[in-house]
Amino acid sequence: MVRTATPDTLTTIAELEALYGQPVEAATVKEVDRITPHYRAYIEASPFASLATSGPEGLDCSPRGDKPGFVRVHDEKTLMLPDRRGNNRIDSLRNIVRDPRVALLFLIPGVGNTLRVNGRAHLSVEPDLLASFMVDDKPPRSVTVIEVDAVYLQCARNCGTRHAMSIRKACPAPARSWRRSATIASAASATTANGRDAPPRRCGDA
């Protein structure tokens, strides 16, 4: 359904920026083009991610989950996501073979911050790669290989911290695991424009 523009409808970037202004520095310095050590620690502690894809039929957002670390950090520019046996809808995979653009949203129960990754993907059925993801003697049918374009830590303040805290009470272990390897304050720092690790910032610091 196409909505008819009205005086109360925002239709241009200029109108958006006039309403919201510019992002604070802390929100832009956290975005980098690679997996930093702090962001790697988050991904390796995460048991759940949402995978967003686009295709001729429209958009799709599918849940992905397993034991923490189910998404493999191959190197600072490459993530690998095994596709376990499921219902064979393969909506995400149908999209990827026609449009490589993907987005991942990683979550850790009990941690309000989330990690966003944008990139381009392809599907691999290379035998040795499939074998490296074997679980209970069963390999995945394919592996989604993602070339990372952008990584960004989403502030807990924008993600519903109250809800995250309620999850913390029910499932605190993954949160403790990640905090041991990299604190939220450190992960939020990402890097400065010249690529070096920046001093830790609290989320929302300008």
Tens of pLDDT, residues 74-104:
999 999 999 988 788 999 999 999 999 999 9
Q: What is the pLDDT of residue 165?
A: 45
Q: Please tell me the distance from the alpha carbon of residue 206 to that of residue 25, in angstroms, as a whole number.
A: 5
- Is the pLDDT reported for residue 25 higher than 80? no
Which of 206, 199, 158 has the alpha carbon at shortest distance from 38?
Answer: 199
Tokens representing residue 144 in the block: 């989604």
CB burial class (10 A; 0-12, 13-18, 19+) of residue 78? Answer: middle
Residue 99 has a pLDDT of 97
pLDDT in tens, 26-81: 777 778 999 999 999 999 999 999 999 999 999 999 999 999 999 999 999 999 99
pTM of the shown model? 0.76
Identify the CA nearest to 182 among candidates 162, 164, 165, 197. Answer: 197
Query: Do the Cβ atoms of 62 and 91 come closer than 8 Å?
Result: yes
CA dihedral sign, ordered 47, 180, 159, 171: positive
3-class DSSP assignment, residue 190 = coil
**Cβ atoms within 10 Å, residue 66:** 15
How high is the pLDDT of residue 88?
Answer: 87
Sorted by sequence, the CB contacts under 8 Å of residue 18 that are 6+ apart come out as none
